[in-house]
Amino acid sequence: MILPKVRDPRFVTIRRGGTLTDADHHLLALWAAACAEHVLDRVESAQPQNPRPRRAIEHARAWVRGEVKMMQARSAGGHAMGAARDLRGAARHAAYAAGQAAVVAHVAAHELGAAAYAIKAARAAAPKGESEAARRLECQWRRDRLPEAIRELVFDDQRLRNDNCWSVFDC
C-alpha cells in the first residue's frame, strides 16, 4: 500500500477540508503524468496495441485542462492499472505508473505512486548489474522536474512515505 493510512491534509483540496489548492493539485497531476510518460515506452514496447496506459496519461493532462471530469481520469487510471495485470517487470511497473498518474485527479497523494512505479520500471529495465544506477538516475530525473511550487511538499511526502514506496526515493 503506497498511500498513507491517514490522509495528509496537504494532499486534500481546500474544498474538502485540506490545504491543497487547485493549482498545486494540477501541478502534482502534471508532474505525475511526466513521471509516467518518461517510462511509457516500457509498456508500449511490450504491448504496442494496448492504448490504456497512454490514454491514462492523456486523461491526467486533460483533467488539468478541464477537458475531462475527475471520474473520467480516475476510470482511465483504473484501466491502465488493469493493463498492468497481464504484464511483468518494467512493463508492468510502467503501466501502474500511468494508472497512478491518472488517479491523482481523484486523490492527489497518488503522485508518489506514479513516481515510484516509474522508478521501479527504470530499475527493472536496466541491464544486469546496473539496476541501482538506473534507479538513482530515474529518481534524480523526477526531482529535477518538480515544479518549484510543489517541490518541498513532494520532497516531504517522499521522506514520509519512502518506506511504503520500496525506498525508491533515496537518490
Separation between Cα atoms, residue 89 and residue 73, nearest integer Å: 25
CB 164 within 8 Å of CB 2 = yes
Taking 80 as the threshold, does the pLDDT of residue 136 lie above it? yes
Separation between Cα atoms, residue 154 and residue 160, nearest integer Å: 10
**Per-residue pLDDT reduced to its tens digit, 2-13:** 788 888 999 999
**Per-residue pLDDT reduced to its tens digit, 111-123:** 999 999 999 999 9
Separation between Cα atoms, residue 35 and residue 144, nearest integer Å: 11
Predicted local confidence at residue 135, as pLDDT: 96
Q: CA 79: distance to chain centroid?
A: 15
Predicted local confidence at residue 3, as pLDDT: 83
Place of cell 491543497: 20
Global confidence as pTM:
0.96
**Per-residue pLDDT reduced to its tens digit, 33-83:** 999 999 999 999 999 999 999 999 999 999 999 999 999 999 999 999 999
DSSP E strands in the chain: the ranges are: none
